[in-house]
Structure 1
Amino acid sequence: MELRRNESIVLENIAAYLFRGMEGVGGRLTITSERLYFQPHSLNIQTQPLELNLKDMAAVEKRNTLFVIPNGMKIKMHNGQEHKFVVWKRAEIIGMIQDTKMKQKMTVIIKTR
């Protein structure tokens, strides 16, 4: 993953699984000042990365895996898509995404004034 101009890494190398259909795709998450980037391990069947712009996220929520395991995170996009992850320390990761989104909004407000 290459950083964009004026983009910085907020949190990286987060072990995660992304549900793509029936497959739980293992990989690593990176949160930047502008996006969430998931890079699958090469041993998965589905190895294409996923890139989600923070400004396109409508909500980031906790969810349970298998109905009872409190290790899931769901990202709802403004276009209706949903992306489900399994992560450890989900509250910390969700908080980091929400804080980064808030900072991004504040930066836009300041720049437009």
Structure 2
Amino acid sequence: MQLRPNETIVKENIAANLFRGIEGVGGRLTITNERFYFQPHSLNIQTQPLELNLKDIAAVEKRNTLYVIPNGMKIKMYDGQEHKFVVWKRAELIGLIQDTKMKQKMTVIIKTR
């Protein structure tokens, strides 16, 4: 992942699985002050990365895997897309994403004044 100018890493190397159809794609997450980036391991069938701009994320929610296991996280985009993950310490990760989005909004407000 190439960082953009003025982009900084907030947290990286977070183990996660992304549901793509029937495949639970294993990989690593990186959260920057601008993006949410998922890099699959090369052993998966589906190895294309997922890159989401934080400004395009409408909501980040808890979800249960298989309806009962409390280890899921769902990212809802403003365009209606949803991305479902299995992560460790999901509440912390959701809070981190929400805090980073809030800081991004504050930076935009400050820059426009």
TM-score (norm. length: structure 1): 0.99
How many residues get paired? 113
Structure 1 stretches of 4+ with a deviation exceeding 6 A read none
Q: RMSD in angstroms over aligned alpha carbons? A: 0.3
CA distance in 1, matches of 2:12, 2:65: 23
Q: Could you tell me the percent identity over the aligned residues?
A: 88
**Equivalence for 2:61:** 61
SS at match of 2:48: coil
**Equivalence for 2:83:** 83
Structure 2 counterpart of 1:85, which letter?
A: F
**Equivalence for 1:98:** 98
Segments of 5+ residues of structure 1 without an aligned counterpart are: none
The Cα of 1:18 is off from its aligned counterpart by 0.1
Structure 2 counterpart of 1:39, which letter?
A: Q
Structure 1 residues 66-92: Cα deviation after superposition (integer angstroms, max 9, x where no partner): 001000000000000000000000000
Structure 1 counterpart of 2:6, which letter?
A: N
Segments of 5+ residues of structure 2 without an aligned counterpart are: none
**Equivalence for 2:36:** 36
The Cα of 1:40 is off from its aligned counterpart by 0.2
CA distance in 2, matches of 1:110, 1:83: 31
SS at match of 1:62: strand
Structure 1 counterpart of 2:66, which letter?
A: L
SS at match of 1:100: helix
CA distance in 2, matches of 1:85, 1:32: 18
**Equivalence for 2:72:** 72
**Equivalence for 2:17:** 17
CA distance in 1, matches of 2:93, 2:36: 11
**Equivalence for 1:26:** 26
Structure 1 counterpart of 2:54, which letter?
A: L
The Cα of 1:16 is off from its aligned counterpart by 0.2
Structure 1 residues 8-37: Cα deviation after superposition (integer angstroms, max 9, x where no partner): 000100000000000000000000000100
